[in-house]
Amino acid sequence: MSRWVPLDSAPRLAGVVALGAVAGVCVGLSTDPELGVLAGIAVSQLLFVLAGWAVLWPMDAASTHLNARREDFRPVTEELAVVAVSLCGLVAIVLLLLRGESDTAHAATALCGVFTAWAALHPMYATRYAYVYYENAGGIDFNSQHPPA
């Protein structure tokens, strides 16, 4: 029986950034550049969340333990990248508001940008907590007898 090994984070991140850039360019060329930037960031963040949960959700405690230490994890780098992209999304929203754009497309994309900026933090911290927990055999107390998954 073969064990499923998720795609490393670097190719997943490159893929979501590329797809977000394509979405941003398409929206920017068909509407306006600010909306394109926000759409690209929102799509990248949405795909980041979906890809993260597609990898993390099926894991049980044993596979979480196996994969928590598999990659060369740099918590500060990951946090800075996710927070920087989230802040870029929020800056793009402010730019849209300063331009006075308030139609439905701008409002919906801005709302999506805020939501995905918030949602992108969750898989990042889920992997961070798994890393810390399995780093020193229980580095975090989750108040449970069962190992976290």
pTM of the model as a whole? 0.79
Distance CA 36, CA 25 (A): 6
Q: Give the per-residue pLDDT at 80.
A: 83
pLDDT at residue 75 in the model: 66
In whole angstroms, give the CA distance from residue 124 to residue 51. 12
The domain ranges of the chain are 9-135
* Total residue count of the chain as it appears in this document: 149
User: What is the 3 state secondary structure string of 23-68?
Assistant: HHHHHHHHCCHHHHHHHHHHHHHHHHHHHHHHHHCCCCHHHHHHHH
pLDDT per 10-residue tile (average), the chain, 149 residues: 59 88 95 85 90 86 77 68 79 76 78 86 81 72 73
pLDDT score at 50: 92
The per-residue pLDDT for 71 is 57
Question: Look-up: residue for tokens 């802040």?
Answer: 87
Decide: residue 59, CB within 10 A, 0-12 exposed, 13-18 middle, 19+ buried: middle
Q: What is the pLDDT of residue 29?
A: 96
Residue 73's pLDDT is 57
